[in-house]
Structure 1
């Protein structure tokens, strides 16, 4: 059973719809966004050159730098009087990316979020506690509106205020929690400090996103909270949360709502489109956005695509869980590694807690990596023994040897109550 029949449409039906919507989108940006008109003309492309959805690969990419270069509203395709909402990224690495929505855009967002929640197993008689931050960040309001569109009850706790968050889970007997994966683990720690086990609550599922996470971390969350953990994906530049989500039946890749968001995977270095199943950088084209359309937006997220029909019956393409970001790649003595790969090795060590930080420095012409890791509460060995085990595992599995490994006690590494957890601290430009 699905929320929208398009989820089980045939490939030919989807491609016909995508073709119509791509043509409309290219015409919209060509006519209403001067930067896009120049961008397309510089690539030798006019709207009439788009015959089928396959022609999307001929269109030029859009990057986060392009959005920032046109700050604040140079890529808007409608006048301000037609806007109904503005959101923005945090701007921690430069100017924030300002994104905009018309009334119709919000309608699409509500529907794809309701569709996502339904795929995750949420139903209209559920109570959903929304632990994503409200405000300019798209997570909080995106989830909130989707829950209401579905007809379920939402508790808008937002991020932070962890003791109150736990009280609401317990007192209101919430069925579903939405938050970041790192915050799930922090909630478990705090609940333990408060003297009870979250796994004893009626909570059935958590919908986690906004940060990459590994399968061992998912397992840790499911065991600690006694829940099913569903991965959700989205980004503000495309719409917010609701671009794709795992189904509760399979949890085997995230269903992309490709009637609204057309996915490709490309080589992050060459930009060449990669075949099904190969990992590369996810590129998304919005097919129905009016206020802020995106043509071939390079997300920076690493994944692969699978077009096989899912065991749940949905036929839309599935993307693999995001393994990391193209710009998160660390090169240590000529070895390429993503932080998520380091996490996967460490979480597989029983004595290691799922909390770590990576500090990058530059000495002369060489990059150095220092790793700080917490041990679990009941670890009875020495720090030196665990440091040696981590060093051995990283060398055996990833062929990576950190310049320094430090094991610390529980609670030493800073936790994140609001927003995305920070794992990597890059000091190379300091």
Structure 2
């Protein structure tokens, strides 16, 4: 753990992010839980978690998820810094049970204090976190970020008529992260569970029930909780205004020797020939070059890092597997593949009769239209190893557009 996370007699602030809900009000079940739906090109949880991962004072982070959502969580959080700081645990049937599970997981770390935050509040900022932390520094056992209620409040009756106007003086809307001394809130949650109390609406109310004084801190009007489908749409629109295109071009080069055989595979097309390409897989030099080009756009190494030739499971494997893997890595990082271009350098066999099928194979594998795929071929004018029919080379270029927030 970094020293900057430690202040005030070794006070260490751990984080519990509650992400085990199902989010029924935010859309159809087919869309999945709201914390994994995209806003601004990334899942809600990714935005939320990033704010805590990058906050200088955050210590260990516990994310509480639904037992069925592990793959969704892994996809949503790929690429985040310091993954070793993040502990994943499973929640219960209610938010209260999920928070208790998160606190119990955090109690196994060196954290002395905890911030409990809703995954569906992706617009939390470091200024709010700093204000809450300052109050913890001063010795407050519980801190609640709030914003004053500004709307006029009415109490209605069963008859649909207004019974009275409620004074908004001293009324606040509660936000998260709600923050506490870890031992205090863990004890309060455990006592509430043991007593059969499962009706608390937030962690501050459990602290109040347990007799802990709760200090109010200034929250933020931007720190909204995404609840219904319209909230998701507004959040996506807000983030999209602060996204600039990030166009990246990757290049790949590969070469394979020719040896006696019955044909070569290029761009997924087998072409009968009196020679074949030598390689651990099917030796599709074109797809190998294009795989490297895609990996280059997101700094993911090269084909050998992901599919080492020393691994026997790839012996004779179709190179479309490699290209599909690279395309998925690009998409997982928010990239959109817009163009793929392959140039083959060979004296033989003839490529032109197979070009359209090659382009179709690229389009199908990458999930783009055929007009975004190009395959070309040229000879080496009898010069060098290509000119002597000793091998075939390929040069590939991939263009990918990523979304990048302006921060």
* TM-score, length of structure 2 as denominator length: 0.22
* TM-score, length of structure 1 as denominator length: 0.21
Q: Which has the larger radius of gyration?
A: 2
